[in-house]
Structure 1
Amino acid sequence: MDFEAIVRMVPFSAHLGFEVMRCDAAGVVVEVVLKPEYCTAGGTAHGGFLMTLADFAGAAGGFMVLPEGAKGTTTIDSKTNMIGAAPVGSRLTATSAPEHVGRRTSVWTTRVMVGEKLISVTMQTQMVL
């Protein structure tokens, strides 16, 4: 499945302005400019927005490693550590890499960065449907 198909399946990603820069079995890179409506008090990225970005990146990777005949993937576990603050207007880069690819699940780690600054780290498990 190509990443354009994934974006069509998850229209919320387009609504949020996610730009897929790379999407293959080896990893996913998604970028987005942080708008004021994605922020919390003080004009920094809302944790829910960071989790949404990371979930999309990891799930896109999960789609890329689906075995033949699978119908899709779904997140069954996700844990995010908030590390730093991202100010409004920042360009966030989410880089997701597989930790495990099996017959029934895949596990992805996504690091969200602003330049060289680490903002959050998410580890999620995708289940094959």
Structure 2
Amino acid sequence: MRATIDPYMQLLGLQTRLLEPGRAVVTAQVKPEHLNIHGNCHGGFLYSLADAAFALASNSHGTPAVALTTQMQYFKAVKAGEHLEAHASEENLGQRTATYRIEIRNQERVVALFTGTVFRFVAER
């Protein structure tokens, strides 16, 4: 994998804490500019955090991969100042597709769950 941070991750203040085959951990500090009109962390910020971990984990084998489908579930509100971790794990690695589970955690509490499947650009034999 070439880079562990891209310009969008940098813009949002996301940091890569772990990157190994099929796994990634990305962290973020929730800032006031990440809040929605209710004063909670914006769902789009949470999605971006999970998606960054998804991208890193799914590309960690050296085979380019792009998202086919994703799903996000939000469980708990998150406030400014809270520290989040997105833990991505590979659930299934196939020849052309792979599926990942990403838990967004605030300490040990899971605040959101993201699942996604990628298409893998495997070289023809």
TM > 0.5 between the two? yes
Q: Find the aligned partners of 1:99 and 1:84 in 2 and give their Cα distance.
A: 24
Contact persistence 1:38–1:46 (CA under 8 A): yes
Alignment of 1:39-54 (within 5 A): 39-54=35-50
- Are 1:100 and 2:92 matched, yes or no? yes
Structure 1 letter corresponding to 2:50: A
Deviation of the 1:42 alpha carbon:
2.9
Deviation of the 1:61 alpha carbon:
0.4
The TM-score with structure 1 as length reference comes to 0.87
- Are 1:88 and 2:84 matched, yes or no? no
Q: Which of 96, 106, 113 is 1:121 aligned to?
A: 113
Residue equivalent to 1:14: 10
- Are 1:57 and 2:53 matched, yes or no? yes
Q: Which of 17, 26, 38 is 2:34 aligned to?
A: 38
Deviation of the 1:53 alpha carbon:
0.7
Q: Find the aligned partners of 2:65 and 2:4 in 1 and give their Cα distance.
A: 11
Structure 2 letter corresponding to 1:87: K
Say which structure is richer in helix: 1
Count residues with an aligned counterpart: 121
Contact persistence 1:82–1:119 (CA under 8 A): yes
Task: Map Cα deviations across residues 77-124 of structure 1 (whole Å, 9 max, x no partner).
Answer: 000010001111100111010001111111110000111221100000
Residue equivalent to 1:25: 21
What root-mean-square deviation, in Å, do the aligned CA atoms of Structure 1 and Structure 2 show?
A: 1.3
The TM-score with structure 2 as length reference comes to 0.90
Task: Map Cα deviations across residues 40-94 of structure 1 (whole Å, 9 max, x no partner).
Answer: 1232111111111111101100110244xxxx22111000010001111100111
Structure 2 letter corresponding to 1:101: L
